[in-house]
Structure 1
Amino acid sequence: MLKDSAIMAVLPAKDINRAKDFYRDKLGLEPSETIEESLLYRCGKGTSFLIYQTDNAGTAKNTQMGWETDNLERDMEELRGRGVVFEDYDFPGLKTENGVSTDSFGKGAWFLDSEGNILNIAQRA
């Protein structure tokens, strides 16, 4: 049943207006809909994500959403130009150099949004 259904990521925001500014100014995204106090964003291939206001934002310690790209370095350069700061990690199973991790899957990079959510861009090998 669910394998054929569309999915939508859901992200928390302590300040929905600050989040809206971040996603517009840093990521170049505009909400396609406003649903009460939530923002719906549409991305490629029919995917989407929702941002809603809650005091629980920024408490997750894991990647909450990611985008797949065909050119990680190009996208990182553009995002850095918009002020996005990529995280560096060094722990078992994940080590980054200049913000990039490389493994058998491919390459990945992580950054925080304005609400402390951990986001990712990745390029498959």
Structure 2
Amino acid sequence: MLKELHTVLPAADLKRAQAFYHDALDLDPAEVHQGTLTYRLDSGAAFEIYETSNAGTARNTQMGWITDDLDAEMTKLRARGVMFEDYDIPGMKTVNGVAAADDMKSAWFRDTEGNFICVSEML
């Protein structure tokens, strides 16, 4: 039976990725093993970052976070150097980095390895 879910992200440079997640997201790995960083969150969720030359090739959202206050989260992340993506595609247009729908608003940024990370607030 499936019991737990966690994300696995690629990194071309594991030390650079580790510095980004520490500096921008205030996260440090709980475990470091043979080219893999494992992050464990207070919620029980976890994600891994592993070193590979394939990093940065995906063009889709690879990890999503839920927050209670997207505006405050974006302000904090921008102060730490995070740049949010802007989109103007059929069905979605961001304003100041935020795409709004009836029940959610979301923003995307890329980590140093080119991974697309989404932060959403349920309305």
TM band (smaller chain): over 0.9
Q: Using the aligned pairs only, state the percent identity.
A: 52
- Matched residues, number: 123
- The 2-side partners of 1:31 and 1:92 are apart by 38
Consecutive unaligned residues of structure 2, counting only runs of 5 or more, are none
Task: Give the one of 72, 79, 90 matched to 1:74.
Answer: 72
Q: Tell me the secondary structure at the aligned position of residue 37 of structure 2.
A: strand
Quick check: 1:96 aligned with 2:94?
yes
Once the two structures are superposed, residues 77-99 of structure 1 have per-residue CA deviations (whole angstroms, 9 ceiling, x without a partner) of 00000000000001012210000
Aligned residue number for residue 31 of structure 1: 29
Q: Tell me the secondary structure at the aligned position of residue 73 of structure 1.
A: helix
Q: TM-score, normalised by structure 1?
A: 0.95
Aligned residue number for residue 103 of structure 2: 105
Aligned residue number for residue 61 of structure 1: 59
- Name the Cα RMSD after superposition: 0.8
> Segments of 4+ in structure 1 off by > 3 A?
none
Aligned residue number for residue 87 of structure 1: 85
Letter in 2 for 1:75: E
- The 1-side partners of 2:42 and 2:54 are apart by 28
